[in-house]
Amino acid sequence: MRDSVGFSVRLYAFFAEQDRLFSECLHESVTLSTTELSLMCALYEANIPLPPEPLSQLLMLKLRTVRQMLLILEDRELVTKTSSSNDARYMLASLTSEGLQITEELTADIYQTMKEHFWSALPESDFEDTLKASMRECVNNVRGFEVEPFGNTASTKLPIACDHFVFWRTIMDRWRQTVRSWCRLNLNDYCVLELLSEDGEMGFSELSQALLMPKNILSLSKKHLAEQELILEKEDASDARRLTLSITDRGKATICGLFEKLDEITRSFHDSLDPDTRDVVQAWYARMFRNMWKSVRNGAAK
């Protein structure tokens, strides 16, 4: 197996928790999605008016989606559009002064959130010199080509570049699509099955804590999986008051081979990294996992 960053339920839990924190951070300030913010980060980095096409390529979004987002951001006076001097039908987009300010403020807030929840005891210079510097290369590796005028290395004063949002969103999307096409389950359902296949019987609260999954979301997965006879709920042999969940033979057969497929996808996202950079990324993931669980436990104790 290649020496790279592979898939794990723990990595999924980390990405899901990160996405939840980012959404909270954005809604505390202004109501923007991380995808809309990534578009604003791209315009900030370009520092020149751009048509929708390169933005669509950079963000790995459908052109229609980018155009719709530009219209929404224009209505909110965060983006302005002008006609090309060569063709009045050719629209160019750029950030307004308010859009520039909000992009700077929100990326700073997200950077601070990362520091508080995930980066304890990690050198920020590693992020700036290695993780941030290598992210565009990873995204281009997945995309298959560089996008002009962005190139293969991000050039931005923002603490978090648009590449990070693209990377995190795209890898989660690929996982979801793969699980859906393999067994018609959602990603939460699959992670419940995968964890049960690894650990055997688990209580509901144990599963919720291990996956960092809110209990209402886990309840939906439990219901869905039980209806398909992929898991079994029963009384704990040593404590009749406690119910445990376990994966059935049908559940095992349903996900057989899927982990390897998700692992292959995950490793492909990191294939462009040189060995030294890969070592830094792996070390950061390991430390961020520990910090994440510590942060969640501390939050639950308050």
Q: Where are the alpha helices (DSSP H) in the chain?
A: 9-29, 34-46, 52-59, 63-75, 97-117, 124-126, 132-143, 162-183, 187-199, 204-211, 215-227, 249-255, 258-268, 275-301
The pLDDT of residue 30 is 79
Averaged pLDDT in 10-residue chunks for the chain of 302 residues:
75 90 84 94 96 96 96 95 69 95 95 90 88 90 94 92 94 96 96 93 90 92 96 80 90 97 93 88 90 74 46
Contact 236, 243 (CB under 8 A): yes
Cβ-based burial of 42 (10 A; exposed 0-12, middle 13-18, buried ≥19): buried
The pLDDT of residue 297 is 67
The pLDDT of residue 31 is 82
pTM of the entire predicted model:
0.88
The pLDDT of residue 2 is 47
The structural domains of the chain, ordered by start, are: 1-27+123-293 (1.10.10.10)
The pLDDT of residue 195 is 95
